[in-house]
Structure 1
């Protein structure tokens, strides 16, 4: 016999199960790092990925062929020198990699290094690279964001933040940047003048920022309950991501080519697709965990749209995985 309490319990269980990501199985899976990876980044078109692995340094993978294209070295001879950050230019011309104090630029066409730089005054927190390696962006623990032009050595320091930087991104042409900090603020700013274009305030430290490569949107998220999509032309709020959890933390963010959806990955293995216009979660699933750790888990380092129906991910488990998307 069903009681009111039973009905309430069933309702709560149904609600909770509806909020959980489905146990979806990848369409394809490739191992890119034995015993796990320290960092990874997939190109915007899903054709290449850079993986920093525990045993094999930094590798560039051709995802169309699942073929190792290059192996790069960034002084990975101690714990402090491990590459923890990577970014690929929107046009797939260059990759930028960094450890805590050094960063280097690599040509994807010929595999050669085009520059190596060191920072002594603070630690590197995040990086980004523009098309053709023309401009580099480095966010630091001292609150500075440095915009670098490798060809002539020009350096512009953005000093708008009061605390350490957590995330940065740059437009493909290198002219507009976004940065988020522990000071609860995300700034969109002009990289030629250093002038602020937009200021986005948050109730807690800003942990993730991203720019749509086509210049339509910006994304900012904090450590509590605010994850926002902004119109990059007007600075107006488009939508806030809607979720039932007390908070969601994002480890990667990507806008879809058609500008209708947002792709996110999290340290909890979760991958989600959201409607940009409403902020509603359309679907979610979890990547394969590392089984040799307890509890089994994985950080989604990077995710990209392969086409309108498939998503590719790289995670700390060392796997690249191709997923069929059922929105």
Structure 2
């Protein structure tokens, strides 16, 4: 029901309609219960339970001058509208539309940009109840309230898509192509490189909101090819010949059986990196996780004892 004032609400109640929601009044909101009792309240009045409060004079008395709603549809006799709608963005009184920044932004040359470059303003998706043909609009500056409709989490995901995150650059002893021995130490490590270990930094923007994400590997899980797994929280120490038969101090393993017991005759070792991604922007912060892997094959022999 669209009512322009308290009188319309009173008439509606008199006709037997049960008004369950606040109706727009020239001086605020009219609240009516199932018994027909009505109150005129300020447009933004709330009680402790988050419901419109029941304060002020009865609607039939004319009330007093109260704060007017902020969001109104000027093409529909200034009917009050929700200031935000999920998925549609924030209302602009000046345009009688909801706007939400498009993510991702259309590229240069896209008609939606109206001849403007990507570094010049932004395109906003539009929902206009009185103009269903309106789909988008370019603005040099965010329309009223539309900047708040940019979801930083969505921009964070866009930033991650710009990153080249790889599986670990595997280091292992014995080396692929060489041969280890059952019961002897195996050393595993991840070679340090930006796209295989981090940090990797990328940003994404919509309108005046920019989100920057930074990705680093937090741990590497090693699947040893014989059913066992080893989780290493650091890169692991690289093996050197001078270490001899010592165990790795932070990322190692020993095989109990030769790789001839595996179907391929070698152990297929897979290293899976967990990328921890911290992002910030648009007044928010958050965490994301990505997983990447890489693999090598190694041979492990059994020592033959001669009598």
Q: Which of these two proteins has the greater Rg computed from alpha carbons? A: 2
Greater helix proportion: 2
- TM bucket (normalised to shorter chain) is under 0.3
Greater strand proportion: 1
TM-score (normalised: structure 2): 0.20
